[in-house]
Amino acid sequence: SPTENFYDAVGGEDTFRRVVARFYVEVAADELLRPMYPEQDLGPAEDRLRLFLMQYWGGPHTYSDQRGHPRLRMRHQPFTIGPNERDAWLRCMRIAVDAAGLSDAHRARLWQYLEMAANSMLNSWV
Ligand code: HEM
């Protein structure tokens, strides 16, 4: 329908669950990214990223109910995110997005946002 948002159009929670689960499979195997995650169990980080993305694209506001205002740049300050970390994050995310079976238009829109967001998280130039 014309009023359907992106969240619903791509398949709702199931789609975000698949994308973010695959993303963390890639993170778990990434030598640069894996050591950055403070918790041994990546499950809670997976929940936070999934809930954030669901909320961003028009789904339920569970992320902010649990975590408050996203303030993502501030929340990433404890981690050194230079070009290498950004590239590794995007490489993992690319695999996850490509595996999700979205239409070309949906995939392009999601990817454009993720690239912009990853660039906005840079806080180091080494
Ligand atoms: C949290 C790394 C980009 C969304 C985190 C955490 C790390 C991290 C290490 C802490 C794990 C946790 O406890 O949740 C990175 C790196 C990035 C990146 C290396 C490279 C550019 C992004 C982008 C987004 C994002 C582009 C959104 C589109 C989040 C969210 C959290 C998080 C929602 C949890 C925040 C909270 O509620 O505490 N990230 N991140 N990250 N990241 Fe990223």
Q: What is the CATH number of the domain that holds 35?
A: 1.10.490.10
Kindly state the percentage of the chain with pLDDT values over 70. Answer: 98
Q: Kindly tell me if the per-residue pLDDT of 2 is higher than 70.
A: no
The band of 4, judged by pLDDT with boundaries at 50, 70 and 90, is confident
For the stretch 80-101, pLDDT in tens is 999 999 999 999 999 999 999 9
Q: Which ligand 1 atom lies nearest to the CA of residue 89?
A: 20
Please report the pLDDT score of residue 126 as a whole number: 82
Distances (CA, A) of 16 to 33, 48, 50: 21, 12, 6
DSSP 64-108: HHHH-S--HHHHTTTS---HHHHHHHHHHHHHHHHTT---HHHHH
Q: Which ligand 1 atom lies nearest to the CA of residue 52?
A: 33
The interface predicted TM-score (ipTM) is 0.97
Q: Would you say residue 31 lies in a domain?
A: yes
CA 2–ligand 1 middle distance (angstroms): 32
First-to-last C-alpha distance (Å) of the chain: 46
Q: Which residues have CB under 6 Å of ligand 1?
A: 33, 36-38, 45, 48-49, 52, 67, 72, 75-76, 79, 81, 85-86, 89, 114, 117-118, 121
For the stretch 44-88, pLDDT in tens is 999 999 999 999 999 999 999 999 999 999 999 999 999 999 999
Q: Would you say residue 125 lies in a domain?
A: no
DSSP assigned state of 35: G
Mean pLDDT computed over 9-18: 98
Q: Kindly tell me if the per-residue pLDDT of 111 is higher than 70.
A: yes
Mean pLDDT rounded to a whole number for the chain: 96
Q: Which domain holds residue 75?
A: 6-120
Q: Would you say residue 71 lies in a domain?
A: yes
How many folded domains does the chain comprise? 1
- Select from 61, 62, 66, 76 the residue to mutate for testing ligand 1; criterion: most ligand atoms less than 8 Å from CB: 76
Contact 116, 13 (CB under 8 A): no
Q: Would you say residue 17 lies in a domain?
A: yes
Distances (CA, A) of 52 to 16, 45, 68: 10, 11, 11
Q: Which ligand 1 atom lies nearest to the CA of residue 122?
A: 21
Q: Kindly tell me if the per-residue pLDDT of 21 is higher than 80.
A: yes
